[in-house]
Amino acid sequence: MDLYKELLINILKEDEIEVRFKRFSFNIEKFTQNECYILLDKIRAVIQDDSLTDFDCVEKIVCLFENSGISAGNRHDFG
């Protein structure tokens, strides 16, 4: 459920969300599930990219999470 909350918080930060609320009925669960599906599809594409090293694969996946507003934890802090 934390993943849902993090995604939703990031989505709600976007200005265009106001338009969505005003013009459409909004089902948070379906919207969040859709965002999760999109993220999962991007992760799958990264995993299937044979040109990446294992490290680069993990790096790209962590960046996908961060770009979606989801914390990657301390594993990504190499400094």
What per-residue confidence (pLDDT) applies to 76?
A: 62
> CB neighbours (10 Å) of residue 74?
6
Stretch 33-59: mean pLDDT, rounded?
93
Contact in structure between 55 and 27 (CB atoms under 8 Å):
no
Give domain limits for the chain: 2-72
* 75: nearest Cα among 57, 65, 62, 60: 62
**Chain segment 15-36, per-residue pLDDT in tens:** 555 655 565 566 777 878 888 8
Higher pLDDT, 70 or 28: 70
pTM of the model: 0.65
52 versus 73: which is more confidently predicted? 52
